[in-house]
Structures are given as C-alpha cells and as structure tokens.
Amino acid sequence: MEYTEREEKHMSIMEMSEEDRPREKMLANGAEMLTNAELLGILLGSGNTRQTAVELAKEILKDSENNLVELGKKTIGELKRYNGMGDAKAVTVAAALELGRRRNLAEALEKPQVRDSSDIFKIFHPMIADKQTEEFWLLLLNRAHRVIGMEQLSSGGVSSTTVDTKLALKKAIDKLADAVVLCHNHPSESLRPSRDDDKVTHQLCEGFKAVEIRVLDHIIVAGEKYYSYSDDGRLE
C-alpha cells in the first residue's frame, strides 16, 4: 500500500512484513539478536508516511554516526525534528537512553576498586561522556582505593565549570576519604587540558595535600577517549 504526502497515517510495526517485525523477533529470539535500529524502532512504535519505525530509527542512528553515545547527546527538541517524532516518541527515546546510562553506571560501580586511569574512565564514561555541558565530579576512595562515594561538585557551560575547593574538601572529609580522584568532561571531545583545568587541578591538589588526602588522578572524559594527569606525569 502506498501513501501520499497528504495522508497522515504513520506506518506502524504491525504493518511491516512478519519477518521484519522487531517485536516478534525479540519475543522469538531475545533482545540481543536485534540490531540497534530494531530496538530503537520498538521504542518508536511507528514511523511516518514514508518510513517504517525501523527505517526512521536507521535515519536517526545514521545522523548519530551509528553511535549510541552520540545519540544520547541529542536533546528532546533535536529528536522532534525528525518527521513523525512527536513529544511522546522523543521522551520515550530520551528516557530509554537515560536508563541505559544509569544501568552502565550501576554496573561500573559493582567493582569499585580503582587500580589505574582506565578504571576511573569506566566509572565516569557512562555518566558524563554524552553530556552537553561540563560537569566536575569527585570520586571518594578508602585506603584500599575502593569507591566509598561520588559527589558532583559543579555543572557549568559548554567549555568550563567552576569548582569550590572548600566544598570538595568538605565532601571528602565528611566521608573520611583517604584518597580522591577528580574528573570532568569536555563536551567538545578535546583531549587537551585547558589552562583553567590546570589551575583547578593545582588548587585542589594543594587543598587536599593540606588535609593529608591523596589526589590519585584527574581524568578528562572526551567522548570515547580520556586524558589522565597522572599518566601524563602532570599530577602535583
């Protein structure tokens, strides 16, 4: 059946050929057998006058470089720009991505011992890799370098955020932390620390040194990559 541009009927998953229905595939074979587009198509439920839900999902994923982290950066407003995407579909997709982010965080914290910079990256990546503004976090550790807490110190603009040294010290002291890790993201995905990054690192290292709490590292999450002050030999 063909649709003209004047018709407003959206092609639903149930109108697809039986072998192409992602819901039936999932019931028969499990979610792990579906592609990202098929899973996203299930969330959408229907497409538009020219596309099925899965075809619309493929378009959205293509615009996100077929990368779920990039997809997670899209706002509800950006999702609604696609033909056939209203408030309900955009909110559903955004909610599913947020649940995925929280699940990744929970899994990362199930083994909360910090041995090197890659362990730190695994903890923070699902939290802040796709954020569109900078967030600065403090990871609190005991003597064995096991995580005993996480605190967000600030949330700022696209290229910078302000950190209160006294607040950071209080958070660590209240938790009786023996060591801490600093972490923030670069929405621009630049791996190069800025002058402000260097300044904040120096201030916090000096502050924690005064109260005999070790700063193990400062990690900058830049998309799928990261920069480590410690690995680069620049941690004071």
pLDDT attached to residue 2: 38
pLDDT attached to residue 18: 47
Of the pLDDT bands very low, low, confident and very high (cuts 50, 70, 90), residue 11 is low
Q: What is the pLDDT of residues 137-179, one digit of tens each?
A: 999 999 999 999 999 999 876 656 789 999 999 999 999 999 9
For residue 69, pLDDT beyond 90: no
Provide the 3-class DSSP secondary structure of residue 135.
strand
- Note whether residue 2 is domain-resident: no
Query: Which of 71, 105, 139 is the last residue before a domain boundary?
Result: 105
Residues 100, 18, single domain; the answer is: yes
Residue 116 to residue 118: CA distance in whole angstroms: 6
80 or 160: which leads in pLDDT:
80
Q: What is the pLDDT of residues 51-67, one digit of tens each?
A: 999 999 999 999 998 98
Q: Taking a C-beta distance cutoff of 8 angstroms, is the pair 216, 141 a contact?
A: yes
Neighbours of 232 (CB within 10 A): 12
Of the pLDDT bands very low, low, confident and very high (cuts 50, 70, 90), residue 130 is confident
- Note whether residue 4 is domain-resident: no
Provide the 3-class DSSP secondary structure of residue 92.
helix
The label of the residue with tokens 């619309």 reads 56
Q: Which of 228, 197, 232 is nearest to 117 (CA)?
A: 228
Query: Which of 105, 126, 149 is the last residue before a domain boundary?
Result: 105
Residue 82 to residue 53: CA distance in whole angstroms: 12
Residues 83, 140, single domain; the answer is: no
Question: What is the largest distance, in Å, between two alpha-carbon atoms of the chain?
Answer: 74
pLDDT attached to residue 85: 94
CA 31 to mean position of chain CA atoms? 22
pLDDT attached to residue 101: 81
Residues 97, 128, single domain; the answer is: no
For residue 12, pLDDT beyond 70: no
Mean pLDDT, the chain, whole residue set: 87
For residue 81, pLDDT beyond 90: yes
Domain enclosing residue 182, as ranges: 113-228
Residues 127, 72, single domain; the answer is: no
pLDDT attached to residue 107: 65
Residues 222, 124, single domain; the answer is: yes
- pTM comes to 0.59
Residue 218 to residue 161: CA distance in whole angstroms: 15
CATH of the domain at 217: 3.40.140.10
- Note whether residue 71 is domain-resident: yes
- Note whether residue 3 is domain-resident: no
Residue 171 to residue 164: CA distance in whole angstroms: 11
Query: Which of 58, 80, 105 is the last residue before a domain boundary?
Result: 105
Residues 100, 128, single domain; the answer is: no
Residue 134 to residue 128: CA distance in whole angstroms: 8
Please list, residue by residue across 39-71, b when 16 or more beta carbons sit within 10 angstroms of its beta carbon and e when fewer do.
bbbbebebbbbebbbbbbbbbbbeebeeebbbb
**Dihedral sign, CA of 97, 103, 106, 111?**
negative
pLDDT attached to residue 87: 95
> What residues contact 30, with CB distance under 8 A and at least 6 apart?
none
- Note whether residue 224 is domain-resident: yes
Q: What is the pLDDT of residues 96-124, one digit of tens each?
A: 998 988 887 666 555 578 999 999 999 99
CA 60 to mean position of chain CA atoms? 18
Residue 170 tokens read as: 């209080």
Q: Based on the structure, what is the number of domains in the chain? A: 2
Residue 18 to residue 131: CA distance in whole angstroms: 38
Beta bridge partners of 136: 154, 184
Residues 118, 223, single domain; the answer is: yes
